[in-house]
């Protein structure tokens, strides 16, 4: 392999965002004892994992992954997750919401949605394994509460986020000091936008689950979204199943994550569609975020991702 003077793409905005994220991931690994990376199988966690692998290349990834599993999965996403873990020789912990429901630590919600139920298994697992730094793929452009989130964000023993207690974050000096029982959430992709994430997936050929690309699927309409037919609550009486060409913009609890009609089957087509899109990804496809104007803020305060 011959060295080249400077690589063309390393100093443009995407290169700058990647360098910033790599710096953050390395800082946390250097200063914390037990980091873990939240891995949902969604595109943001796929990009975060990719950045982390690059941060330590050619050494192996120095921390495990944690999947908080709602049980309402797209089979394609689980298959993708398991393939990736096997190919890269990663360590994966799974915290299954079903287990918490099974032994009574959690009760199923009347609406059957499980995204909000992820918080307790997440916090219990953090405590059990004494994780002190939890990487997440959240971005500040996603939501107004997230816009105020720090890159390294302190959480109390209850996982709670107190916007008034946030430490000022100056220069690129991250203060992750914490006392026993506290941990930090770390968001290396804070300054990325949805479009940046897609550009990065294209540039680096980041593997993502196939459901992000257009495919034929049996869906039914509810609350202005296309939901997939499955064992969880759908379709109900009066909701008609149709076969459509759709793709997903986010993957979460399959019972409340909607698909958008699309024919974008390649990364370049997806990029073009995202660039032209006039609706934010959460607004389009996540019923849980449409519950109230402050939905995300409330969940963050309770210890959500």
Partner 1 sequence: MAAPMPRPCEQVSRLLRLTTAGSVDDGKSTLVGRLLHDTQSILADQLAAVDRATRARGGVELDLALLTDGLRAEREQGITIDVAYRYFATPTRKFVLADCPGHVQYTRNTVTGASTAELAVVLVDARNGLVEQTRRHLAVAAFLRVPHLVLAVNKMDLVDFDEPTFRRIESEFAVVARSLGVRDVVSVPVSALHGDNVAARSGRSTWYRGPTLLEHLEAVPTGREAVAEPMRFPVQLVLRPRTPEYPDYRGLAGRIASGVLEVGDDVIALPSGGRSTVTGIDTPDGPVLRATAGQSVTVLLADEIDAGRGEVLAHPAQAPRVVTELNADLCWLADRPLRAGARVLVKHGTRTVRAIVTELTGRLDLHTLLHTEPPTALELNEIGGARIRLAEPLAVDSYATDRHTGGFLVIDATDGNTLAAGLVGPDPARNTA
Q: List binders of partner 1 among 177-216 (CB under 8 A).
A: 177-179, 190-191, 193, 195-196, 199, 202-203
For residue 272, which of 231, 208, 233, 214 has the smallest C-alpha distance?
214
Q: Strand (E) positions, 35-187?
A: 35-38, 65-69, 92-96, 133-135, 152-155, 183-186
Q: Enumerate the β-bridge partners of residue 185.
A: 134, 153
Q: Which is nearer to partner 1, 245 or 280 (CB)?
A: 280
Q: Does 12 bind partner 1 (CB under 8 A)?
A: yes
Q: From CA 133, how far away is CA 155, in angstroms rounded?
A: 10
Contacts for 75 with CB less than 8 Å, ≥ 6 apart: none
Query: In the β-sheet with 92-96, what is the strand arrangement from edge to edge?
Result: 92-96, 65-69, 35-38, 133-135, 183-186, 152-155
Q: Which is nearer to partner 1, 36 or 97 (CB)?
A: 36
- Total residues binding partner 1 (CB under 8 A): 75
- Which of 111, 144, 241, 261 touches partner 1 (CB under 8 A)? 144
Contacts for 221 with CB less than 8 Å, ≥ 6 apart: 227, 239, 240, 242
Mask for 269-288, x = binds partner 1 (CB under 8 A): --xx--x-xxxx--xx----
Task: List binders of partner 1 among 16-75 (CB under 8 A).
Answer: 16-20, 22-23, 26-27, 29-30, 53-60
Q: Does 7 bind partner 1 (CB under 8 A)?
A: yes
Transcribe 179-199 into DSSP letters.
Answer: -TT-EEEE-TTTT--HHHHHH
The two three-digit tokens of residue 236, written as one number: 């109900």
Strand, coil or helix: 179: coil
Strand, coil or helix: 66: strand
Q: Which is nearer to partner 1, 94 or 301 (CB)?
A: 301
The least distance separating partner 1 from the CB of residue 41, rounded to whole angstroms, comes to: 22
The least distance separating partner 1 from the CB of residue 241, rounded to whole angstroms, comes to: 26
Q: Does 171 bind partner 1 (CB under 8 A)?
A: yes
Q: Strand (E) positions, 118-258?
A: 133-135, 152-155, 183-186, 215-222, 225-228, 242-248
The least distance separating partner 1 from the CB of residue 50, rounded to whole angstroms, comes to: 9
The least distance separating partner 1 from the CB of residue 248, rounded to whole angstroms, comes to: 17
The least distance separating partner 1 from the CB of residue 297, rounded to whole angstroms, comes to: 6
Mask for 209-248, x = binds partner 1 (CB under 8 A): ----------------------------------------
Mask for 84-123, x = binds partner 1 (CB under 8 A): ----------------------------------------
The least distance separating partner 1 from the CB of residue 229, rounded to whole angstroms, comes to: 25
Tokens 């009066």 locate to: 238
Phi, psi of 53 (to 5 degrees): -60, -40
Q: Which is nearer to partner 1, 34 or 242 (CB)?
A: 34
- Which of 98, 125, 175, 245 touches partner 1 (CB under 8 A)? 175
């Amino acid at each position: 392999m011959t060295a080249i003077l400077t690589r063309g793409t390393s100093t443009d905005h995407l290169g700058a965002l990647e360098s910033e994220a790599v710096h953050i991931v390395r800082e946390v690994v250097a200063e914390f004892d037990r980091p873990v990376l939240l891995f949902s199988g969604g595109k943001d966690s796929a990009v975060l994992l990719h950045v982390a692998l690059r941060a330590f290349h050619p050494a192996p990834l120095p921390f495990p992954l944690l999947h908080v599993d709602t049980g309402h999965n797209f089979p394609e996403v689980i298959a993708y997750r398991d393939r990736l873990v096997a190919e890269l020789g990663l360590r994966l912990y799974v915290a299954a919401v079903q287990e918490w429901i099974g032994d009574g630590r959690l009760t199923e919600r009347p609406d059957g949605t499980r995204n909000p139920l992820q918080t307790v298994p997440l916090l219990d697992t953090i405590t059990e394994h004494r994780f002190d730094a939890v990487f997440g793929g959240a971005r500040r452009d996603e939501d107004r509460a997230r816009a105020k989130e720090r890159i390294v964000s302190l959480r109390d023993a209850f996982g709670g986020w107190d916007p008034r207690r946030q430490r000022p974050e100056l220069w690129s000096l991250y203060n992750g000091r914490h006392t026993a029982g506290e941990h930090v959430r770390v968001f290396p992709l804070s300054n990325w936008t949805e479009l940046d994430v897609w550009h990065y997936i294209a540039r680096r050929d980041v593997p993502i689950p196939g459901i992000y690309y257009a495919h034929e699927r049996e869906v039914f309409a509810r609350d202005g979204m296309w939901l997939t037919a499955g064992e969880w609550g759908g379709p109900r009486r009066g909701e008609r199943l149709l076969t459509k060409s759709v793709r997903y913009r986010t993957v979460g609890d399959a019972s409340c994550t909607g698909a958008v009609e699309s024919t974008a089957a390649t990364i370049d087509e997806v990029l073009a569609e995202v660039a032209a899109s006039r609706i934010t990804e959460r607004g389009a496809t996540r019923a849980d975020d449409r519950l109230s104007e402050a939905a995300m803020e409330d969940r963050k305060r309770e210890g959500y991702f």
